Amino acid sequence: MSSLNIVARNSKVFAAQICRNQQFGASNRHASSSAKVGFVGLGNMGGHMARNLMKNGHPLIVFDTVPDSMQAIKKEGATLASSPQEVASQTNLIITMLPASQHVLDVYTGSSGILGSVQKGSLLIDSSTIDPSVSQQMAEESTKVGATFVDAPVSGGVNAARDAGLTFMVGSPDQSFGKVKEILDKMGKNVVHCGSVGTGQAAKICNNMLLAISMIGTAETMNLGMKLGLDPKLLAKILNMSSGRCWSSEVYNPVPGVLDGVPSSNDYQGGFGTALMTKDLGLAQNAATATQSPTPLGSLSHQLYRLMTNSGYAGKDFSSAFQFLKQQDKK
């Protein structure tokens, strides 16, 4: 056979292979875009995240310890599971959104936990905010049963969760990040690879320490300005066009009536609870101690939120720092 004929034949074979690969890739993308997702944890954040997955065509199998949360999402088309273990038996892609480290340990390694029936090759994405060492422990345990665990805590608040505008901070192996990003893009606008497992948690606890500090500063500033006779909406406007501008003043102002659609204008209901902020600040302080990092404002913020948690504010949004400070005026 002449060299020209060989080249022509190889070109046809190569073109056919490209066609098959493109068809296979399209099939994979289609399968991925409609893959069944397991979701455990349907609280203020998780419920919105799960719904955004359904809006993007993903069938869901869900579990939560609160029956009302389960029934609400069932009406929207989700399938209910009786345990995290049942979720894991039905799908190889699972997202968890839980309050604290102990909940993550229970959901993954408890008697009815995910790792008890996880399928080999499963991808487990935990969006809880927990101790980085617990994320690393769960990654090790998952590897033993042939699954991949990554940490992907979030920032942005309940409104961002509702509007698919979250920021995800991801700690994962390099080879897993592409698949992780593909699913997280359905729930957020920023998906950042921070490094190996645990680094997502490190980024999150640093962010939340700053958030707590800025919220307390905003609450103190708004309270002082109002005592000096300033209208709170006017003061907020001035802050947000000046050097004092921050997320806590502009997007999540703690004074009732300054902004619509935020917890402060709903008696501090919903949102990110004071008890959860206290927990996150505790994680930050543990990390500061372990790394011998000076965090005086972080420590003071932790003390204030601990006091709020023990003074009836545990279930209120963390922006209730403003309400708490105003009450101190009267003492």
> Residues 66, 113, 125, CA angle at the centre, nearest 5°?
85
Q: Are strands 166-171 and 154-155 parallel, antiparallel or unpaired?
A: antiparallel
> Residues 163, 81, 69, CA angle at the centre, nearest 5°?
45
User: Rg (Cα) of the chain, in Å, rounded?
Assistant: 23
Phi-psi region of 267 (alpha: psi -120 to 50; beta: other; left: phi over 0): left
Q: Is 204 a catalytic residue?
A: yes
Cβ proximity of 274 and 317 under 8 Å:
yes
Which entry of 204, 233, 237, 279 is annotated as an active-site residue? Answer: 204
What is the rounded end-to-end Cα distance, in angstroms, of the chain?
Answer: 99
- Judged on CB neighbours under 10 Å (0-12, 13-18, 19+), 24 is exposed
Dihedral over alpha carbons 62, 63, 69, 75 (to 10 degrees): 30
Sign of the CA dihedral running 73, 75, 77, 79:
positive
* Helices and strands counted in the chain (H then E): 14, 9
DSSP letter at 112 equals: T
Beta bridge partners of 188: 166
Catalytic residues: 204
